[in-house]
Amino acid sequence: MDIIEITTEKQDAFSRVTVRGEIDAHTCWHLREALTEAIDTNLDLIVDITKVAYIDSSGIGVLVGASKRCGNTGRHMIIVCSNENSIIHKIFRMVGLETFFTTVLTVDAAVQELNERAAKASQH
């Protein structure tokens, strides 16, 4: 039985994928599909995993792949994880991804980060 809920919302400047539950080998394909569809909008991507209770290596692989795909298309992916001491942050640190991913604590902070990146890009 899959224990995951994913919603996708498209804004003017970004797509937001919100995930609740557990991301593992049995559920990660749902996340991969949602992220692929969001990336195909050619917008920046916010991935909100504040309600994710567990993630394994297959889920991390999906996030890494999505981040690389965003970068290859000139887009940014920001992960929202509400607590720097959460199990997700600990896992990111443990596998050396805390500097690979851009993580913020709130969706508002993610939107602000994307706006700042867009402003910098328009200055060049």
What's the per-residue H, E or C state across the chain?
CCCEEEEEEECCCEEEEEEEEEECCCCHHHHHHHHHHHHCCCCEEEEEEEEEEEECHHHHHHHHHHHHHHHHCCCCEEEECCCCCCHHHHHHHHCCCCCCCEEECCHHHHHHHHHHHHHHHHHC
Count of domains observed in the chain:
1
| Domain hosting residue 10, numbered range | 4-123
What is the pLDDT, as a whole number, of residue 80? 95
Q: What is the mean pLDDT of the chain?
A: 91
What is the pLDDT, as a whole number, of residue 124? 67
What is the pLDDT, as a whole number, of residue 84? 65
Per-residue pLDDT tens over the stretch 13-64: 999 999 999 999 999 999 999 999 999 999 999 999 999 988 999 999 999 9
What is the pLDDT, as a whole number, of residue 87? 82
Give strand pairing partners of 17. 8, 47
What is the pLDDT, as a whole number, of residue 2? 67
Q: Find the CATH number of the domain harbouring 109.
A: 3.30.750.24
Mean pLDDT confidence for 88-98: 86
